[in-house]
Amino acid sequence: MNINFQAKNMELTPAIHDYVLQRVTDLGKILSKMEEKGGEVKVLFDVAKTTNHHKTGEIFRADCSITIDGKKFYSSSDKSDLYAAIDDVKENLYHEISRSKDRKQHLFRRGAQKVKDLMRDVTSFGKK
C-alpha cells in the first residue's frame, strides 16, 4: 500500500501524521484483501486549514483519494475539528468501498445463479 500525506496552510505534525495513518490502516482490512488478490492500492490524504475566507473560527478540510487497480474512491469533509474531519472521511470511504465490494459479489452470485438455473433447465429437458 502506497500512502502519501500532504498538508496545506498548516504543519503536518507527528500527531496528525500518526492519526491519519491509524485511520488509513483501519481501512487496511478491506484494502489488504484487495492487495492479496494482486491489486495495487494508492492512497493520497490531504489535510488543510481553510480559514482565510471564514469570518470566525478555524475550518479544517480533509481529502482522501484511494485508487485500487484503476478504480477511484474519493471523500472530503470540512469540519471545525481536524480529527472529526479525518474520521468523517474514513467512514465515508469505508462505506463506499464496502458497498462497491458487496455490489461486485452480488453481481457474481446473481450470474452464477442464472448459470445454475440454465444448467438445471438443460438437464431437465433431456429427461422429459
Q: How far apart are CA 31 and CA 117, in angstroms?
A: 34
Q: In sequence order, which ranges of the chain are alpha helices (DSSP H)?
A: 14-36, 82-127
Give mean pLDDT, residues 58-74.
87
What is the pLDDT, as a whole number, of residue 126?
A: 59
Q: How far apart are CA 37 and CA 34, in angstroms?
A: 5
Q: Mind listing the pLDDT tens digit for each residue in 79-115?
A: 888 899 999 998 998 888 878 777 777 778 888 888 8
41's enclosing H/E stretch is strand 41-49
Q: How far apart are CA 58 and CA 54, in angstroms?
A: 8
Q: Is the pLDDT of residue 4 over 70?
A: yes
What is the pLDDT, as a whole number, of residue 84?
A: 92
Confidence of residue 56 (pLDDT cuts 50, 70, 90): low
Give mean pLDDT, residues 68-77.
86
SS3 at position 59 = coil
- For 2-101, CATH gives 3.30.160.100
Greatest CA separation found in the chain? 80
Q: What is the DSSP letter of 102?
A: H
Amino acid 111 reads G
- In the chain, what percentage of residues exceed pLDDT 90? 13
Q: Mind listing the pLDDT tens digit for each residue in 30-53?
A: 777 666 776 778 888 999 888 666
**Structural domain spans, the chain:** 2-101
